[in-house]
Amino acid sequence: MSDRTDNRISRQDIPWFPRIDERRCNGCGACVSFCPHGVYAQVDGRAEVTNPYGCEVGCSGCVPKCPEGAISFPSLTDLMKVLRTLRAKQGQEAR
C-alpha cells in the first residue's frame, strides 16, 4: 500500500451531464443513437438521461444532434470553476 493519496476526482463529484427539456423533446431518439456512452434511453416515447455519469466530462456532442434543441449542459466556465474547487479540496494545484 502506498502512502501517496490518489488525487483523482471522482466522476460522481463532477456535475457534468445533459438535461433534457421534456417540453421540447419529440422522442426522435437522435441522442440515444448518437451517444456512445449510453447516457440516454427511450422511455415512454421520450429520451431520458438514464446514465448521467457515463457522460464524458466536457463532451456536448449530442447537443447539435437534437433537432428540437432539447438538450443542454452546464457552461464550460461553470465546469472549470467546479473542477478548480474540487482540485483545491484535494490539494491539487489549480490548472
Query: Tens of pLDDT along 31-56?
Result: 999 999 999 999 999 999 999 999 99
Residue 5 pLDDT more than 70? no
Say what the pTM is.
0.83
Q: What is the pLDDT of residue 52?
A: 97
Q: What's the CATH fold of domain 11-89? A: Alpha-Beta Plaits (3.30.70)
pLDDT of the residue at 2: 34
Positive or negative, the Cα torsion across 27, 65, 60, 69? negative
